[in-house]
Structure 1
Amino acid sequence: THAPPVLEGEQADVARALRDTVAEDRFSITLLEGVTGSGKTEIYMEAIAACLEKGLQALVLLPEIALSSQWTGRFARRFGTQPALWHSDLGTRLRRVTWRSVADGAARVVVGARSALFLPFARLGLIIVDEEHETSFKQEEGVTYNARDMAVVRARMDAAPIVLVSATPSLETLANVGAGRYRHLRLGARHGNASMPQVRTLDMRADPPERGLFLSPVLTSAIRDAIGRQEQAMLFLNRRGYAPLTLCRTCGHRMQCPNCTAWLVEHRARHILTCHHCGHNEQMPPACPSCNAEDSLTPIGPGVERITEEARATFPDARILVMASDTLHGPAATADAVERIARREIDLVIGTQIVAKGWHFPHLTVVGIVDADLGLGGGDLRAAERTVQLLHQVAGRAGRAEAAGHVLLQSYVPDHPVMEALVSGDFTSFMEQEAEQRRPGFWPPFGRLVALIVSADTPEAADMTARALGHAAPHLDGVQVLGPAPAPLAILRGRHRQRLLLRARRNIPVQPIMREWLSRVKPERGARVDVDIDPISFL
């Protein structure tokens, strides 16, 4: 191995504690919580080193395989070798080779996405789940499971320690720490002499952008100043495409997906309207399909493409890069984009949630959140928690080296608890308040949820199956069934959808209740019932 990095103070203490955990050679769960830029990766690499010294294998789960490029670079610098990679973009031949080398113990460190959990490790000695709060660890299609929770199960089966890593741990994980089930290690300071970024809200009611624009004057001048100092800036908007809705100015017709109850999103670069739920594409029509008025179709609201258009007009000399899942195709393109930012070939990065991952951009000093209120609507019980986590992670890209970082949140509700938590940086108090709101109603993590999603070819079949499930619902102490009700996405890929939600106290085993309930109902012809235990999505 190469020389390990010099760790000092609390970093050295935490690294020593993790090495000791690996040395114990038994199942244990540790939360490694550290502010963004505190060196969590370097510290858990010390645990990997301890695992390798014992001749055991280590598994690192990342929420976004695009992250693996920067991660493997850091790993190679630390250990002088490349880890084995496992993700859905691997070709069949590479898969076979990796599978065998994991099974015979030759692959000592595996870094991968969710499915790496199921590899046949010969001698698994450590599991790391990086960014454990990320919802992408939950598989929504096919067999639904949460890779973070399954990683804990796998660690128990292999009698191996597991480390959950995050700057913004999930409420579920914090509740387990509070109950004494998980050990808690904390890093309160950034690595080196970097300071935490200054965060402030821009009240969009008091200081609105010019008509037809989306960036406020304060934000544009902050970006202009950063670029003038030869530093980098970032704009974040968690919305792909040009505009989330296209409307006819003459008759009010909205361009809707023929297969889903969802608006079509304009992707201007490709001259198409697309559905982000089912993938349906169609050309942008020259006239309104409802009233035939020409040139009357208007984009409503901004997507990342529209912000890019505004940025190009506002900063004509800036070198701009867009990071979104539909502009970066695959890990190689993402790795190339990250390299260009690191080499300072880019002045302004504009991105969706892919920029919130654990990237290290040392020259980036100004981050603008275009619409900080975006994630707060909808009927998602974790909306506030997720918004704080996402925006805190985005903010954490700023000021990670010598120059101070500044984060500007554009919001119409600057006094919302989420905005106040982001400005103060007091994530712990916010999560304590969030817990207090959920505890009385036995909402997760203080209770269990199970979603039943009924889908059918016809609305009648969906309705009758959902009603039958409602009539057969269990009547038990500590258990409540909500619904049936049409799903927020009432039609998806041409299928009509209804939802029911079972809520149970934490100590009640839900699997036998569900088996008994489902056994009493025969779905109508053309209908199916999907069960999602501990749901993350409520669409």
Structure 2
Amino acid sequence: MGTTPTRQKMPTVEVIPFVPLSSGSRRFAYTYRVPAKESVAPGTLVRIPFGKRTVSGIVFREATQRIPPWKLKTIASVTSSVPLFTPAELAMLQHLAELSLESFPLLVQSAARVRSVGQADDISENLKQKARRRASRIDVRWKPLTDLLPSALHGQLLLLIPETSVAHATIELLEKKKLPWAFFAQTLPVRERRALLQRLRTGESLVIVATHPGIFLPLPALSRIIVVEAALPAHRQWDLHPRYDARIGALLRGKAQGVPVTFQSTLPSLDLASLSPPEPNDILRPGSVRVLPRMSTDPLFSPVFLSAIRDTIERGGHVFIFHNIVGTERAFVCGTCGALLTCPECGGILERVRSQLHCRQCKAARGPLLRFCPRCNSPHLSPRRIGTSAIVDMLRHIVPGVSVAQADRDTLPRLRAGTLSARAPAPHSILVGTERAFAALGEYDLFDCIIVLDADRFLESLSFDAAERAMITITRLAHRRRADAPLLLATTHPHQTLFRALETDLRIWMEEELADRRTLQYPPEAVLIRLERTASSAGQARTLAKKLLQRLAASAPDVRTGFRVIERPRPRAEILLRGPRAALSDALRFIPTGWNTDPFVPVSLLASSLP
């Protein structure tokens, strides 16, 4: 009589499926049975049955819960012969998802896309052990990148750049230093990405210039991470999913591999200043910006501006006129004296709304339309779009015969890199542009005169970091000047702390702004989440905001809330959530679909809390 063979118990693992999960669900891994004669480790890429379809996923860990065998499904196939991630890297990705308040499966899927192209199977064991366990050092350097690059390269150096437009200047700098380099971005062709990943996995000594996904690259011989121009908001990827901050990823990557992390910046940042305050001349030399007071009824081009433009052109120099409006603003301009119709209370520009004049800044109605200019009594008062296109037309009348170029979101797609360069064979004497102009300019393209026509535009935004963004933009403009070239800035509020600090000491503004944020509990003193949702009308936006606030008050009492309704250009509701990070993470589970979330997680808070 034969004996019944004993059925061998098959191991079970938890797999993270690459599928969109509901925002309120905290479950991100599902238990599966490992096929016979197969062995999988955490980080292995597999195909699993999920509902009525088969999807890809990553093995997270061994199963921690006992599930009846008849309820388990079996892994369909094993895609990668070696794991894409180590357990430590998976823990880093999970930590990054928690800090970024983002879905863990989405973040793992994004990281897997970086590593799964052209995966090598011959990773030597001695190379895997190169990552030494040591304490990660975090420092802030208020110096140019060229001062931080080593003369000789030992291991792999990761340079995280905020956007691809910075890559060209960074690579030029590396070639001058005679350092071997490689560039990585998600837009690279598959063949180039495959070749680059194979080089990185062998531990070749390289300087890797990469955008946000560079924190997911396999770098076994990583020796240092430098976040280039860490003050720029472009390091925060919130317009696409998954949303994360590359600076936070650099902190966690440095902690996981025990390598130093350096935040390099020549621009002001309150977040970085909380870690290491800059010296007086590190960012902006006192007195390098000239603030010009003006009345709200003054013309856009004051006599000082016109004199500076003509003098610079006569000397054969180049002028950059900064105006961060493309042409979506309809204002009334006098054709005789050039004055703008402005609000008598706040100085904002008056726009036409039906048959009334409304202030763009304070949203108040200021009476019916006028037939005559209040300054010169001229009847030539007409509505115009005061954007870069209108300014180019004005300059062609003010300085006829001079080459004028325009650089904004409408013209840059038609311009190639270098066409705006002052070193080009046929240079433009005057460049009128918005912040998009920085992408079309080379690293060494400098101007003999820079003019900011309306600095009040910087402070019209209701965002809590409007002043900081303004200071970053003004500092970027200051770096585009030649030695001792003027930077002229016109404002109707010259006594604002921001403008006073430009002429004296930047640290005055930093100290006052940090004190205000500490009182109001705004970043970098706390974590903040901004929720936004568009609606068909202002009334509907207000109703949606109040319903959500009532729900949050009942489910997340530790979270402080506030909201506002913005009527133009499109009605939308905006809600701010402040509080401990754990409470904010719980509050996100109660937010219904349709609301866009934008978290602000300060790097300084994490750097002080990480062991």
TM-score (norm 1): 0.69
Question: Structure 1 residues 300 and 62, CA, compared in 2 at 3 Å: closer, same or farther?
Answer: farther
Question: Counterpart of 1:175 in 2: which secondary structure?
Answer: helix
The answer on 1:232 being equivalent to 2:331 is: no
1:353 to 435, 439, 448: 435
- In structure 2, the residue matched to 1:119 is 217
Distance 1:129 1:187 in 2: 22
Question: Structure 1 residues 457 and 307, CA, compared in 2 at 3 Å: closer, same or farther?
Answer: closer
Question: Counterpart of 1:105 in 2: which secondary structure?
Answer: coil
Is the contact between residue 197 and residue 407 of structure 1 (CA under 8 Å) also seen in structure 2?
no
- In structure 2, the residue matched to 1:208 is 298
Distance 1:96 1:398 in 2: 41
1:449-500 deviations in Å (ceiling 9; x for gaps): 1233456799999767644432232579994432454356785xxxx74333
Is the contact between residue 234 and residue 366 of structure 1 (CA under 8 Å) also seen in structure 2?
yes
Distance 2:557 2:175 in 1: 52
- In structure 2, the residue matched to 1:188 is 281
Distance 1:375 1:313 in 2: 27
Q: CA RMSD in A?
A: 3.9
- In structure 2, the residue matched to 1:385 is 468
- In structure 1, the residue matched to 2:600 is 534
| Structure 2: tracts of 5 or more residues without a match | 1-131, 333-350, 358-380, 603-611
| Structure 1: tracts of 5 or more residues without a match | 1-22, 35-39, 179-183, 255-296
Is the contact between residue 267 and residue 472 of structure 2 (CA under 8 Å) also seen in structure 1?
yes
1:473 to 552, 555, 561: 552
Higher relative contact order (CA 8 A, sep 6+): 1
Is the contact between residue 450 and residue 503 of structure 1 (CA under 8 Å) also seen in structure 2?
yes
Shift, 1:196, TM fit: 7.5
The answer on 1:305 being equivalent to 2:389 is: yes
Distance 2:537 2:321 in 1: 43
Is the contact between residue 184 and residue 193 of structure 2 (CA under 8 Å) also seen in structure 1?
yes
Shift, 1:384, TM fit: 1.4
Distance 1:482 1:156 in 2: 33
Compare CA radii of gyration and give the structure with the larger one: 2
Is the contact between residue 25 and residue 125 of structure 1 (CA under 8 Å) also seen in structure 2?
no
- In structure 1, the residue matched to 2:47 is none
The answer on 1:486 being equivalent to 2:565 is: yes
The answer on 1:499 being equivalent to 2:606 is: no
Aligned residues: 429
- In structure 1, the residue matched to 2:247 is 148
Distance 1:363 1:450 in 2: 38
Distance 1:298 1:99 in 2: 60
Is the contact between residue 159 and residue 226 of structure 2 (CA under 8 Å) also seen in structure 1?
yes
Question: Which of 96-105 and 481-490 deviates more?
Answer: 481-490
Residue 315 of structure 1 aligns to which amino acid in structure 2?
Answer: V
TM-score (norm 2): 0.61
1:355-400 deviations in Å (ceiling 9; x for gaps): 4579544652211011111110132111112212211221221124
Distance 1:412 1:453 in 2: 31
1:286-327 deviations in Å (ceiling 9; x for gaps): xxxxxxxxxxx9754522222222223322333333332432
Is the contact between residue 474 and residue 517 of structure 1 (CA under 8 Å) also seen in structure 2?
no
- In structure 2, the residue matched to 1:427 is 506
Residue 519 of structure 2 aligns to which amino acid in structure 1?
Answer: P
- In structure 2, the residue matched to 1:43 is 147
Distance 2:354 2:542 in 1: 32
The answer on 1:30 being equivalent to 2:105 is: no
The answer on 1:413 being equivalent to 2:493 is: yes
1:53-77 deviations in Å (ceiling 9; x for gaps): x2x1112122232122222222212
Is the contact between residue 324 and residue 435 of structure 2 (CA under 8 Å) also seen in structure 1?
yes
- In structure 2, the residue matched to 1:84 is 182
Is the contact between residue 323 and residue 351 of structure 1 (CA under 8 Å) also seen in structure 2?
yes
- In structure 2, the residue matched to 1:328 is 412
Distance 2:289 2:249 in 1: 36
Question: Counterpart of 1:120 in 2: which secondary structure?
Answer: coil
Sequence identity of aligned pairs in percent?
24
Question: Structure 1 residues 199 and 188, CA, compared in 2 at 3 Å: closer, same or farther?
Answer: closer
- In structure 2, the residue matched to 1:12 is none
Distance 2:383 2:182 in 1: 45
Is the contact between residue 455 and residue 497 of structure 1 (CA under 8 Å) also seen in structure 2?
yes
Shift, 1:339, TM fit: 4.3
